[in-house]
Amino acid sequence: MIVELFIIAAFVLPEAVADRYDRVLAPERSGEAPSCFKGCRVSELSVDCRKAMCKRIPMELGRKTVKLIMTGSRLSYLSSESFDHVPSLQYLDLGNCHIEKLKVDTFDRLVQLRFLNLSFNSHIHISDQTMFHKLTRLRELYLTRTAKMSTFDSTVLLNLTGLTKFWFGINQLTTFPNFLDARNKSLVPNIVELNLENNNIERIKRAYMRGLESVERINLNGNRIYTVWSNSFAHLVKLTHLEMDRNYELCPRLYAFKSLSLKHLSLADVGQRIFREGQCRKEIFNRIPNLIILNIARSRALLNSLCLFFNLKRLEVLNLRGTGVTSEMLPYIARRRHLRILDVSENEINVLQRPILQNLKLEVLLLRDNWLSVINITTLPEDTWDRLTRVDFSENTLYCDCQVVWFRRWLKKRKNTTVENLHLTRCTGPAEVKDVPIHLLKHPTDLECFSEEADAYLLSVFFAVFMTTLVTFLVAILHRLRWILKYWYFRYKARAKEFRELLDQQHYEFDAFLSYSETNYEWVVDQLHPRLENEFGLRLCIHHRDWSLGSDIVDNIVNSIERSRKTVLIVSNAFAVSQWCHFEMTMAQTKLFEDDRDNLILVLLEEIADCNMNPRLQLQMQKQTYIEWTENEIGQQLFWERLGQALVTPSTSLINEIPPRQLFH
């Protein structure tokens, strides 16, 4: 028996050893590529084979390996056997591995996998719904440039309910993927980030967003989107970031970007159509009250409408690079009081002065490639110079005379400010310093400029002394004659008062003429008219009731103002843009100054947009207190009391009722 066992061992064991030897070193013996494991970097449970040029998954990997990076390898074929020896993998990067064939069961045994990247393997075809169905713990899936198909079969996402990131860019999609299963339940209920950039998607609808209720970031850059339907994103209550750059024919519908949660919106390089066509121009950013970051670089937005930013009260970061911004447009932009970062590079700004940015808390200001010729202490508010952490003034048309001395000194003394492209912040004149970077400029020196400043300073001092002496002399004369001047002042005031009372006693057919836009007709008829005539007993002159039929409109306006004791302007955005309302206001102001009687009352129905405000209306609102309408019931009671009081109060003189200055003692 022992002899038989010995004989069996003598023949069987060598074969078993040889078989094991064949399996371990099979590649070398069969002519396959040798193991690349020596070229991999091993760190605890992580293996990085990016530079090893592997042609297969290394067999030397330990069973407890958690992270494997094979980016850039030459893995032409993969199956489930490729990963038999690494069942604990949680992170697998197979990006750009030249994979040509991927068996359906390749990942079936990697049940612990949380991260999978198959991007830039353009020959593999991902369509079988069972390919990932066992990866129930997967959190991140990257399939950029893998499928090259016009539609996406969402069934491949079955069982991936824990997925938080999904990238499917550069794949020639023409329609937005469907993320609902056969029972209309979300395939990705926990999705946070969705990237579909550089496809051929043409339209966005609200229905397409079903199943994405948990998404926070959506990237649709580089598609062919030409329309976004109204309220497409309104129900995505967690959406904070939306990027749609390089959609060159984009023209969203009204309230397309409506969202209470959206904080970051990027629409760079979207061409002209978005801001040119009426339906997608003025209200493009309405209903996004919490937006903080807006990027519309190279979209030429401001050349078409300055109302774009009217409702963006919380904006902190604004990128207007290459949009055609001019110096005249800056004040409208600067009304965003929370603005911290402003990029207006590659524009047409030639003047920048302190008052323009006075109320901002700017930390970053980028003004590269504009037409600025002077940068000095008056360019920005003093506290802004101290607050800036990053600035760029390069490639402007700076003229390096004595006005540049302060800026050169600031460049040397700055402590916490990063000046970008300092070597490109050059002089364009005079000829002797052309193209010299300002921080290397030697002339003009401080001393050279001081002599010029000294002459101007001495002249200023002389003028100041002369004016002080003159004022002192005049004050002394006035003090000596103070009682005589007081006597004549009060005599004049008494006569003016008698004349004004005589004017007020004359008969007027109406107590007030109402000037309003037809847009506000219902408010006038339903609210103003019954309240003033029925409760206050006033007689009003109203267009539709009291104007003479067949008469010229101009005659009706002039006659109405002449026949009314006072004129009430019902100011709204519609009023501000109406030519007839503008004419009525002009006539009322003319009458006011001719009679020297304060007979003009302003009622503000709503806040006036910057782009609707004309200079005459703006001046009137600045110098006269207006009565503001409100939706609050208590506020409305106060409104009616103030308006009624203003209408029944006798008119006062614009000149003589100004309180006398206490010049005399």
Say whether pLDDT at 506 is over 90.
no
Cis, peptide link before residue 615, omega less than 30° from 0: no
User: 348: which strand partners?
Assistant: 326
Say whether pLDDT at 665 is over 50.
no
Angle at 442 (CA atoms; ends 437, 445), nearest 5 degrees: 130
The listed CATH number (3.40.309.10, 1.10.260.40, 3.40.50.10140, 3.90.226.10) that belongs to domain 510-648? 3.40.50.10140
What is the rounded CA–CA span in Å between residue 72 and residue 36?
Answer: 13
Residues 6+ apart with CB under 8 A from 626: 571, 602, 603, 604
pLDDT-based confidence at 351, cuts 50/70/90?
very high
- 200-230 pLDDT, tens digit per residue, is 999 999 999 999 999 999 999 999 999 999 9
What is the rounded CA–CA span in Å between residue 36 and residue 55?
Answer: 8
pLDDT-based confidence at 654, cuts 50/70/90?
low
What is the rounded CA–CA span in Å between residue 586 and residue 616?
Answer: 8
Evaluated on CA atoms 34, 38, 43, 49, the torsion sign reads negative
Say whether pLDDT at 455 is over 60.
no
Mean pLDDT confidence for 416-424: 94
What is the rounded CA–CA span in Å between residue 636 and residue 630?
Answer: 6
- 560-595 pLDDT, tens digit per residue, is 888 888 999 999 998 988 888 888 888 888 887 777
- 516-553 pLDDT, tens digit per residue, is 999 898 899 888 888 888 888 889 999 888 888 777 88
Say whether pLDDT at 620 is over 70.
yes
pLDDT-based confidence at 25, cuts 50/70/90?
very low
- According to the model, what pLDDT value does residue 547 have? 84
Are residues 498 and 551 in contact, defined by beta-carbon separation less than 8 angstroms? no
Of 386, 335, 324, 374, give the one whose Cα is nearest residue 357. 335
Mean pLDDT over each residue of the chain, to the nearest integer? 84
- According to the model, what pLDDT value does residue 593 have? 75
- Domain 32-197 superfamily per CATH: Ribonuclease Inhibitor (3.80.10.10)
> Residue 437: helix, strand or coil by DSSP?
strand
> Residue 135: helix, strand or coil by DSSP?
coil
Strands 217-219 and 227-228: unpaired
- 477-502 pLDDT, tens digit per residue, is 887 776 667 656 655 655 555 555 55
Say whether pLDDT at 96 is over 90.
yes
| Domain range annotation of the chain | 32-197, 510-648
pLDDT-based confidence at 635, cuts 50/70/90?
confident
Strands 418-419 and 510-515: unpaired
